[in-house]
């Protein structure tokens, strides 16, 4: 059987809680097939790595990630290593993304199940039929336009971050958005989000997106929105943004959390960070390892209680199988199992949801149900 090496980075807060459920799912997938074998290894990353080694991304962890076929991460950060700490977890995540060249962050935000309509804080008629994919540029813009420690020094009364984008950085993320749009039948519309009325980097963004698409993908429909008005549309009439939302790093960070109100919880949404457009790896081409993580953070307010929703992480594991290992069948099976568990009242009605979705079952119990349904599908 083909053997794949998967590095698991549980991280901090609820990270280990949600990752352990996704690991159970991957182990089941691996033991159910004689065609491939998933070799999982866990490494220190984030705040827990700071406590152990003094740095959030120890060299051994980075090396393991570089040599892996794919990386599954939980979340990092927390009050113990807060914004005033000298050494913080978040720069470790930025360094991991940057070192692996993972410039394309793909965050699908749709209502995975009609039964979630009950939980969205939006009117069901507003949330129903929303199907958008945020394509967020991940290794440029304000997150990396820094000098010294983001311009902050104890004796200086000014701090700064710069939004810097080059033509080639905008071109490559535009091409990823285009390829995702074209993979759908019919092709998806592209909504590019910027702040071109104020920011020079956004005016470059808009020009390059427009030129790249009209030259290379003239068949695709494109419109532009200013980020302030797009933020309003995501909650007022999100269907107007159905398709691909193409945007820069910080806008994509904010808008993707906001888009999670559509399905009803931040805990539901997965993500993939890739060094190019998603495409099944071929025998002679091994892509840079992709990084897969839920879009949420370490949720310090509920950490340790065993009530976090593991679905975003489990769906991230499905994206890992699909995009980094080319294993479409088990990826689909996981998505089907999650949907079934959310959809089937006989499995326990309202009880089959974690607290973020108004239910009362814990992280492991939800994992149990998903595993049970998955067993019957695989
Ligand atoms: P958060 O995403 O951790 O939590 C926001 C809210 O959503 C909280 O009320 C939390 O309880 C809830 N929530 C999040 N995930 C949930 C889940 N799976 N199930 C149920 N409820 C869930 O955001 P925050 O509190 O602003 O940030 C906490 C820490 O996480 C910070 O240190 C931040 O830097 C870090 N963070 C890390 C990542 C990452 O590792 N990729 C992403 C975002 C934030
Ligand atoms: C995310 C997180 C990260 C980001 C932080 C923790 C660096 O919010 O993955 O969405 O801003 O990219
Ligand atoms: Mn975020």
- 352 CB within 6 A, ligand 1: no
Q: Which mean pLDDT values do the consecutive 10-residue runs of the chain (378 residues) have?
A: 96 98 98 96 98 98 97 98 94 97 95 80 92 97 77 68 96 97 96 98 98 98 98 97 98 97 95 89 73 98 98 98 95 95 72 87 96 96
Give residue 79 CA to ligand 3 midpoint distance, Å: 16
Dist. CA 267–CA 21, nearest whole Å: 13
Q: What is the pLDDT of residue 107?
A: 98
Query: Does 195 qualify as catalytic in the annotation?
Result: yes
- Beta-carbon contacts of 65 under 8 Å, excluding residues fewer than 6 positions away, are 7, 9, 43, 71, 96, 100, 289, 291
Ligand 1 centre from 31 Cα, in Å?
Answer: 32
Q: How far is the CA of 255 from the centre of ligand 1 (A)?
A: 15
**Residue 221 is among the residues annotated as catalytic for this protein:** no
Going by alpha carbons, the residue nearest to atom 6 of ligand 2 is 90
Edge-to-edge strand list for the sheet holding 222-226: 36-42, 2-11, 70-75, 290-292, 272-274, 104-110, 131-137, 243-247, 190-194, 222-226
Mutate to test the pocket of ligand 1, among 121, 270, 299, 300 (most ligand atoms within 8 A of CB): 299
Rounded Cα–Cα distance for residues 162 and 262 (Å)? 31
- What's the angle, vertex CA 279, arms to CA 275 and CA 281, rounded to 5? 90
pLDDT recorded at residue 10: 98
Q: Looking at ligand 1, which residue's alpha carbon is closest to its atom 22?
A: 267
pLDDT of residue 1: 85
DSSP one-letter code for 103? -
ipTM over 0.90: yes
Identify the structural domains of the chain with CATH numbers, from first to last.
1-119+263-378 (3.40.718.10), 122-260 (3.40.718.10)
SS3 letters across 329-360: HHHHHHHHHHHHHHHCHHHCHHHHCCHHHCCC
pLDDT at 147: 61
Single out the catalytic residue among 12, 103, 195, 292: 195
Binding site membership of 252 for ligand 2 (Cβ less than 6 Å): no
The confidence score (pLDDT) of residue 111 equals 74
pLDDT value of residue 350: 59
pTM: 0.96
What is the predicted pLDDT for the residue at 352? 81
Catalytic-residue membership of 155: no
What is the Rg, in whole angstroms, of the alpha carbon atoms belonging to the chain? 20
- Confidence (pLDDT) at 24: 98
The answer to whether residue 257 is catalytic is yes
């Amino acid at each position: 059987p083909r053997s794949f090496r998967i590095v698991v980075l549980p991280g901090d807060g609820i990270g280990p809680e949600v990752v352990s459920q996704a690991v159970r799912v991957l182990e089941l997938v691996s033991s159910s097939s004689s065609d491939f074998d998933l070799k999982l290894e866990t490494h220190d990353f984030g705040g827990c790595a700071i406590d152990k080694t003094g740095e959030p991304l120890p060299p051994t962890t980075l090396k393991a990630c570089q040599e892996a076929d794919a990386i599954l991460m939980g979340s990092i950060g927390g009050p113990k290593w807060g914004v005033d700490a000298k050494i913080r977890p978040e720069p470790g995540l930025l360094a991991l993304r940057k070192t692996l060249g993972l410039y394309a962050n793909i965050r699908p935000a749709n209502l995975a199940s009609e039964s979630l309509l009950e939980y969205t804080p939006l009117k069901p008629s507003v949330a129903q039929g929303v199907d958008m994919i945020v394509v967020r540029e991940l290794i440029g813009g304000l997150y990396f336009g820094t000098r010294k420690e983001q311009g902050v020094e104890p004796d200086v009364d000014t701090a700064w971050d710069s939004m810097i984008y080059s033509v080639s950085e905008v071109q490559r993320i535009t091409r990823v958005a285009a390829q995702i749009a074209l993979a759908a039948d019919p092709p998806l519309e592209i909504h590019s989000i910027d702040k071109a009325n104020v920011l020079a980097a956004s005016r470059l963004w808009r020009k390059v997106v427009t030129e790249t698409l009209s030259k290379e993908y003239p068949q695709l429909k494109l419109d532009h929105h200013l980020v302030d008005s797009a933020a309003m549309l995501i909650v007022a009439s999100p269907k107007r943004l159905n398709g691909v939302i193409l945007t820069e790093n910080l806008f994509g960070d904010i808008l993707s959390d906001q888009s999670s109100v559509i399905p009803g919880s931040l805990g539901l949404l997965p993500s993939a960070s890739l060094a190019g457009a998603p495409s099944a790896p071929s025998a002679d081409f091994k892509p840079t390892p992709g990084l897969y993580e839920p879009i949420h953070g370490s949720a310090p307010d509920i950490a340790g209680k065993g009530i976090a929703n593991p679905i975003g992480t489990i769906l991230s594991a499905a994206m890992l199988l699909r995009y980094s290992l080319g294993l479409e069948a088990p990826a689909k099976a996981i998505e089907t199992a999650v949907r079934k568990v959310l959809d089937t009242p006989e499995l326990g009605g309202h009880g089959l949801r974690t607290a973020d979705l108004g239910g009362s079952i814990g992280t492991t119990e939800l994992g149990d149900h998903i595993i049970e349904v998955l067993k019957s599908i695989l």
